Amino acid sequence: MPLPLGAVAQGAVPAGTSTDGSVPQHVAIIMDGNGRWAASRGLPRIAGHRAGAEAVTRCLRAARRQGVEYLTLYAFSSENWRRGPDEVADLTGLLRFYVRHKVAELHREQVRILFVGEVHRFGSDLCDELARAEQLTAHNTGLTLLLALSYGGRNDIVQATKAIARAVQRGELDPDTIDENMMSRHLLTAGIPDPDLVVRTSGEHRISNFLLWQSAYAEFVFLDSLWPDFDETTFAQVLEIYGRRERRFGARPA
């Protein structure tokens, strides 16, 4: 049975508006360490990616149980296209498998699925499947899952800037009215609250071009554990760390 999370908010929602201050409304995760996990076990890299996909299932389950409303997973960065063709093919095939075999289950659990990034680079057939998954789950009222595919934060800002510039060029927009809210409305995540919490696994302390604009006031947690080992206990520990933070949004402490 799906866990009731309440209706999905419509339109732009400010970050940090969870009914329970200890639970972030939006958690974004940089899933890192699949290759190292496989290498440490003498397995091919695809085995690590498959184990990472299972970790996604555990993460989703934990997020729903904890009351998180939005979960964004950095599944495939724009830089990942530079990897070897065999690994890119493995990742694409894994994505296709899970879209075909997991979407119906997520739909039953009232999960809404969105894809952000240059998804057209995956080819028309897979793009059509991604579009059908979005359409099928569009009216679900549980957790919203955003999968960042062929996504890059800098490119996100560039495409938003181009869209605004074109509107100015057409005479539809006064440049003096351009502000942060307008920029947010033109990003690929338009209508989604900014992440309250960004998590990265594998011991790396960088954000790798992920949600650069959106993460301006997010809390960051960096974990030494590799992504395939991520489970519900890990998720609870991350939320415990977040719950101890005092979020000031640039203001001085009282």
Q: What are the catalytic residues?
A: 32, 80
CA 250, chain centre distance (Å)? 24
Binding residues for substrate, by number, are 33-37, 45, 49, 77-79, 81, 83, 200, 206-208
- CA 34 – CA 137 distance, rounded (Å): 28
Q: Tell me whether strands 197-200 and 70-77 are parallel, antiparallel or unpaired.
A: unpaired
Structure tokens at 134: 């979005």
| Cα dihedral sign, 179-180-183-185 | negative
Q: Which residues are annotated as a binding site?
A: 32-37, 45, 49, 77-79, 81, 83, 200, 206-208, 219
Q: Give the containing element (helix H, strand E) for 130.
A: helix 124-137
Nearest 10 degrees: Cα torsion 211, 33, 231, 4: 30
